Amino acid sequence: MSMRELKRIFVKGGILSPNELKQIVHYAYSLGLDSLHFGSRQDIILPSHEEINSGDLKDNAGGVTAVLDPELQNIVCSYVSADIFPSTTWLNGSTYLYILESFKHQPRIKINITDPEQRLTPLYSGELNFIASDHEDYWYLNLNLSGWDEPVFYPVLIFSWDISKISKIIEETYKDAEDADELFLLVNDIFQANNRNIEKPLNLDYIPFPYYEGMNKMGINQYWLGLYWRNNKYYLSFLDDFCDFCLENKIGKICITAWKSFIVKGIPKESKLLLEKFLGRSGINVRHSLLELNWHLPVADEEALALKKFIVMNFDQNDISTYGLTFGIANRIDPKIYFASIMIEKNKLPDIVKNFEVRSTYNVLYSEKFDQNSSNYSVYAQDVDKIELPGLLMELSKEYFNQLGETDAQEIKNEKTEVPESKEVYQCNSCMTVYDSEIGDPVHGADRGTLFEDLPSHYRCPVCNSEKESFKLSLI
């Protein structure tokens, strides 16, 4: 089933209330459906149905709207990561909400509003990619516009409260510009924005893809929950009951991720046991292997789902680790922006053999430094059979771990830091990350010389986000 045969329900930034989701569920019930899908643009996808009409939901569920026009686009944002994953110092959940609220028009180009300190929401999968800078309320703007030769950055930083206005103007004028400088002049003639000069280019450190499922601590008295279904079919009966649970326990927001899953934040401590019992009674698995969670597949593509299951089964049988990597499956003929470390492209069959039964072939690509936000992909293998894919992907996974941290190791060597032959450190039991008090963790507020015992109780592993209690004293 192609995306044009599916109907979308737009949810700005993937953020909706339990009541809004409940009304969407009841709308789907009225169409005779038993499940819905989540899309990579943090939207909700329904199978094609003759009774779906544009605006059916708008009157019932506020800003949540059924969309028939395939040219319209949802806005993606990393609100889902706020308060649960590392973030830019000044950026919080309310900032995203204010910016999203300022959009009074429905964009026809893809817009991303993201935090570069997180990796759950892709930074560059849009056409206008607003990425938070170090300066409070100012954003880099990466342009990846249709008809332009390559992605480029806008020449100035954009003020938070100008994002919606500038997005609309760019959508209306970019086809008249040949480059970012000319576009800047066109925008400036129409709107005097509160811009800021770029003092340094955006430089992204490598951050591995996080584990985002299960019940996790959030602050002192709250938890967050990540839920994922292998087949991306979220059954209406469960969602209906889950919305009731959220409403009864004063849980205000449900967030859809770009990985076709959803996260619920702000679960009161006193509701944790009740929620665990509810999930258990519903038969919900909340501890899938990371081998399952780090895949991006086309919606309602049974062939892609079967291919993923085949590859994951081989990974599991070979005890392969893919921590930090992401994988995607795509049809080569579909124009899209990839946002996975490793991509499997299905080749189009030649017209000359379309009337014969011929096995599909695939290309394997990997991004620069295996960074899912890199737009530079290299070909690892071409025109290979399905049976060859697991072995090729396992080879690539090993290449990823071989090159991991090479830059950091060289920087440490250049500093000529003397490391004793053996010493006591604290090591994370989940991913074996070491906390060394002589080095600290400056990125997360622990200066050099900070003893592990002096770290705050809410300190988490910078790699896998495990709690402080998961670290054990070790000798290295």
DSSP string, 264-320: EEEEEGGGHHHHHHHHHHTT------HHHHTEE--TT-HHHHHHHHHHHHHHHHTT-
Examine the domain organization and report whether 263 and 304 are in the same domain.
no
In a domain, 181, yes or no: no
Examine the domain organization and report whether 113 and 211 are in the same domain.
yes
CA angle centred on 224, ends 134 and 445, rounded to 5° = 35
Give the CATH number of the domain where residue 72 resides: 3.90.480.10
Examine the domain organization and report whether 119 and 236 are in the same domain.
yes
Examine the domain organization and report whether 398 and 422 are in the same domain.
no
Examine the domain organization and report whether 103 and 32 are in the same domain.
yes
pLDDT at site 19: 93
Residues linked to residue 377 through DSSP beta bridges, in sequence order? 367
pLDDT at site 1: 43
In a domain, 81, yes or no: yes
Q: What value does the CA radius of gyration of the chain take, rounded to a whole number of Å? A: 23
Examine the domain organization and report whether 277 and 322 are in the same domain.
no
Give the CATH number of the domain where residue 390 resides: 3.30.413.10
In a domain, 357, yes or no: yes
Examine the domain organization and report whether 360 and 386 are in the same domain.
yes
Examine the domain organization and report whether 350 and 461 are in the same domain.
no
Q: Under a CB-based contact definition with an 8 Å cutoff, are residues 43 and 10 in contact?
A: yes
In a domain, 141, yes or no: no
- CA dist., res. 262 & res. 225, Å (int): 8
CA angle centred on 119, ends 118 and 124, rounded to 5° = 110
pLDDT at site 417: 40
pTM (2 decimals)?
Answer: 0.79
Domain boundaries, position 440: 416-475
> How many Å separate Cα 393 from the centre of its chain?
21
| Of the residues 224, 254, 288, the one at which a domain ends | 288
Q: Under a CB-based contact definition with an 8 Å cutoff, are residues 408 and 417 in contact?
A: no
> Distances from the Cα of 171 to the Cαs of 7, 43, 53, 177, in angstroms?
23, 21, 26, 11
Examine the domain organization and report whether 421 and 279 are in the same domain.
no
Examine the domain organization and report whether 67 and 94 are in the same domain.
yes
In a domain, 196, yes or no: no
Which backbone phi and psi does 100 adopt, to 5 degrees?
Answer: -60, -40
Examine the domain organization and report whether 248 and 265 are in the same domain.
yes
In a domain, 139, yes or no: no
Examine the domain organization and report whether 369 and 420 are in the same domain.
no
pLDDT at site 251: 93
Give, for all 476 residues of the chain, the pLDDT tens digit.
444 557 889 899 999 999 999 999 999 998 899 999 999 999 999 876 555 554 455 544 445 655 667 788 999 999 999 999 999 999 999 999 999 999 999 999 999 999 999 999 999 999 999 999 999 999 999 999 988 888 999 999 999 999 999 999 999 999 999 899 999 999 999 999 999 999 999 998 888 888 899 999 988 889 999 999 988 889 999 999 999 999 999 999 999 999 999 999 999 999 999 999 999 999 888 888 878 888 998 888 889 999 999 999 999 888 888 888 999 998 866 556 788 999 999 987 766 655 666 778 999 999 988 988 887 899 999 999 999 999 999 999 989 988 876 654 444 344 434 444 556 788 888 777 788 888 788 767 788 788 888 888 888 887 777 888 888 887 76
Overall domain count for the chain: 3
| Of the residues 288, 309, 326, the one at which a domain ends | 288
In a domain, 331, yes or no: yes
In a domain, 160, yes or no: no
| Of the residues 257, 288, 319, the one at which a domain ends | 288
pLDDT at site 64: 60
